[in-house]
Amino acid sequence: MVTEGTKSTEFKLRTMKCEMNFLSKSDGSAILSQGETVALVSVNGPLDIKMGSQSIEKSTLEVLFSSKSGKPSVQDRYKENVIRQTCETAILGCLYPRTGITVTIQELEDYGALLATCINCTCLALLNSGVAMKYVYAAVTCGVGEDGNIILDPTPAQREKCLADMTFVFDSREKKLITSFTSGTFSEAAHQEALARSRAASDLLFAFYRDMLRNYSHVIQ
């Protein structure tokens, strides 16, 4: 089932579409498009792993990112690290000691906000897998235009003219900032405005998640 996101009059994100349980040979999976940017994520685990990789306190999380080109880069490894740290804050790993959870992310199309799309798709795939989580999370990308204005989820044409990009990840309980990634040049005031607008816009993503889970639950009943 494909679910399409709704729009808000105050905060507008690019159209979102998602299908959960997309892959048949994984414990959980999701394919998500935000605008024309598309990511596919699969989750496997908790599974038995080698003793040398086990933790007696929690599960061992492995995140693998594959770019569309297929050639690994330093930026890909950085994306893996950012997504792994984000997932680790949300997953109740203490419930699965001495096991491993593997998250595999495939970039299908990149037309801006790829990191945010991958993070959101990962959350949906984890929900689909049934892994216990303290909260769900959502990522929002902002751009700082040449005039200093903040642009939520900029289109590729807008992104080309942006002086900076900012990606913020919030938890669903208290809307606390759990991950932040920025690039480019911007003022402190621009950063604070982007943070506030992204936090408010995250409501759209959490509403989209609820719609996805509601529709998916209806399908499997």
Q: Which residue ranges make up each domain of the chain?
A: 14-220
Q: What is the pLDDT of residue 75?
A: 87
What would the DSSP string read from start to end of 38-107?
Answer: EEEEEEEEEEE--GGG--SSSPEEEEEEE-TT----HHHHHHHHHHHHHHHHHB-GGGSTTEEEEEEEEE
Q: What is the mean pLDDT of the chain?
A: 92
Q: What is the pLDDT of residue 4?
A: 58
Q: In this model, does residue 17 exceed pLDDT 70?
A: yes
* Percentage of the chain lying above the pLDDT 70 cut: 94
- Quick one: tokens of 150? 């903040």
Question: Quick one: average pLDDT of 187-201?
Answer: 96
How much is the pTM?
0.92
Q: What is the pLDDT of residue 2?
A: 56
Q: What is the pLDDT of residue 176?
A: 97
Main-chain phi, psi angles of 85, to 5 degrees: -65, -35
Q: In this model, does residue 197 exceed pLDDT 80?
A: yes
Question: Quick one: average pLDDT of 179-190?
Answer: 94
Residue that wins the pLDDT comparison between 10 and 66: 66
Here the contacts of 173-176 (C-beta below 8 Å, separation 24 or greater) are 173/134, 173/135, 175/199, 175/202
**Per-residue confidence at 71, pLDDT binned at 50, 70, 90?**
confident
Look up the CATH architecture of domain 14-220.
2-Layer Sandwich (3.30)
Tell me 149's DSSP state. -
**Per-residue confidence at 33, pLDDT binned at 50, 70, 90?**
very high
